[in-house]
Structure 1
Amino acid sequence: MDKKNDRYETAVRAAERLMSSRQKAEYWLQHYVRGLDAKPIDLLGNDEGLEAVLTLIGRLEHGIVN
């Protein structure tokens, strides 16, 4: 598996934990998220983008919305 696929799987697993559904997680990754000012999937081309997605998911898990 290549790095981008690894980053995608890492992001989808983290989002799935938050949303309790892989389908919802994949939907979320493919749509604009204000907290990232982008579609999360568009940020997964590099490690910095993955870190931004995971940081936002972590914030949401802890109830931090801004």
Structure 2
Amino acid sequence: MDKKDERYEKALLAAEQLLESRKRAKSWLQHYVRGLDAKPIDLLDSDEGLAAVLTIIGRLEHGVVT
């Protein structure tokens, strides 16, 4: 498994925990998120991008408006 695949899995697991569905998590990663100004999947080329995706997920979990 390469680094991008590892980042995708981390993001997918976090999104799945938030959305309580692997299918919804995969869909969320593919759609534009205003708080990221990008599709989450497009940010997973770097560790910084993964951190941004995980931060947004954390904010959503805690009800912080982004």
TM category (shorter chain) comes to over 0.9
| Letter matched to residue 14 of structure 1 | A
In the TM superposition, structure 1's runs of 4+ consecutive aligned residues that sit over 4 Å from their partners are none
1:59 equivalenced with 2:59 (yes/no): yes
Q: How does the TM-score come out when normalised to structure 2?
A: 0.98
Alignment correspondent of 2:15: 15
SS in 2 for 1:45: coil
Q: CA deviation at 1:34?
A: 0.4
Runs of 5+ consecutive residues of structure 2 not aligned to the other structure? none
Alignment correspondent of 1:36: 36
Alignment correspondent of 1:48: 48
Identity in percent:
73
| Aligned residue-pair number | 66
RMSD: 0.4
Q: CA deviation at 1:65?
A: 1.5
Q: How does the TM-score come out when normalised to structure 1?
A: 0.98
Alignment correspondent of 1:2: 2
**Residue by residue, what CA displacement relative to the aligned partner does 1:1-58 show, whole Å, maximum 9, x if unpaired?**
0000000000000000000000000000001000100000000000000000000000
Distance 1:64 1:49 in 2: 19
